[in-house]
Amino acid sequence: MTESVFRSERLTPEAFELLASASPDVVIPLEQTPQWADFERSLGREPYGLWAYYDDDGAPAAMVSFLRVRRRFRESLVAINGPVWFADRTAEAELRLMHTVRHQFTDDPGTDPLYVRMQVKHPLPPAAGPIEHGWYEREIVVDLTPGEDAIFKSFRPNARNSIRRAERSGVEVRTIERARWVEVFRADLYPILKETAERDGFSSFGPEYYELLLSTLGDHLRLMVAYVDSRAVSWLITTEYRGYSVYYFAGSTHDARKTFAPYLLLWEAFKQLKAAGNTACGLTGIVSENYPQLVNVTTFKRNFSKNVVDLPTTYDIPLNPGKYKVVAGLLSFRRTAPAKGRALLMRAASSVSTLRAHRSGGKS
Can you tell me the distance from the alpha carbon of 324 to that of 318, in angstroms, rounded to the nearest whole number? 6
Same-domain check for residues 80 and 159? no
Q: What is the pLDDT of residue 355?
A: 46
202: helix, strand or coil: coil
How many other CB atoms sit within 10 Å of the CB of residue 71? 12
Q: Looking at 205-338, list the stretches that DSSP marks H as alpha helix, in order from N- to C-terminal side.
A: 207-216, 256-259, 261-275, 295-301, 321-336
Can you tell me the distance from the alpha carbon of 314 to that of 120, in angstroms, rounded to the nearest whole number? 6
Q: What is the CATH number of the domain that holds 38?
A: 3.40.630.30
User: For the chain, how many structural domains are there in total?
Assistant: 2
Specify the DSSP element, H or E, that contains 67: strand 60-71
* 184-203 pLDDT, tens digit each: 999 999 999 999 888 877 77
357 domain-assigned: no
Model pTM above 0.85? yes
347 domain-assigned: no
Same-domain check for residues 282 and 195? yes
Same-domain check for residues 159 and 259? yes
320 domain-assigned: no
Q: What is the pLDDT of residue 339?
A: 57
Q: What is the pLDDT of residue 284?
A: 86
Same-domain check for residues 81 and 151? no
Q: What is the DSSP string of 36-63?
A: HHHHHHHTT-EEEEEEEEE-TTS-EEEE
Tell me the pairing of strands 308-310 and 115-120.
Answer: unpaired
The answer for residues whose C-beta is within 8 angstroms of residue 149's C-beta and 6 or more apart is none
Domain end position, chosen among 127, 157, 185: 127
Q: What is the pLDDT of residue 349?
A: 53
The rounded percent of the chain whose pLDDT value lies above 90 is: 78
6: helix, strand or coil: coil
243 domain-assigned: yes
Can you tell me the distance from the alpha carbon of 189 to that of 252, in angstroms, rounded to the nearest whole number? 9
Q: What is the pLDDT of residue 289?
A: 77
Domain end position, chosen among 75, 98, 127: 127
Domain range for 248: 138-310
Can you tell me the distance from the alpha carbon of 186 to that of 208, in angstroms, rounded to the nearest whole number? 9
Same-domain check for residues 147 and 19? no
Same-domain check for residues 186 and 214? yes
Q: What is the pLDDT of residue 285?
A: 84
Same-domain check for residues 146 and 62? no
Q: What is the pLDDT of residue 95?
A: 98
> Position 27: which residue type?
V
344 domain-assigned: no
Can you tell me the distance from the alpha carbon of 90 to that of 113, in angstroms, rounded to the nearest whole number? 26
Same-domain check for residues 239 and 192? yes
Series of mean pLDDT values for 10-residue runs along the chain (364 residues): 90 98 97 98 97 98 97 93 98 98 96 97 95 88 98 98 97 97 97 88 88 97 97 98 97 93 98 98 84 81 94 95 92 72 55 47 41
Same-domain check for residues 42 and 95? yes
Same-domain check for residues 278 and 300? yes
Same-domain check for residues 255 and 295? yes
Domain end position, chosen among 77, 93, 127: 127
Q: How far is CA 63 from CA 7, 9, 15, 26, in A?
A: 11, 9, 12, 11
DSSP state of 115: E
Beta strands in 144-243 (DSSP E): 172-175, 221-228, 231-241
* Burial 115-140, CB ≥16 within 10 A → b, else e: bbbbbbeeeeebbbbbbebbbbbbbb
Same-domain check for residues 16 and 75? yes
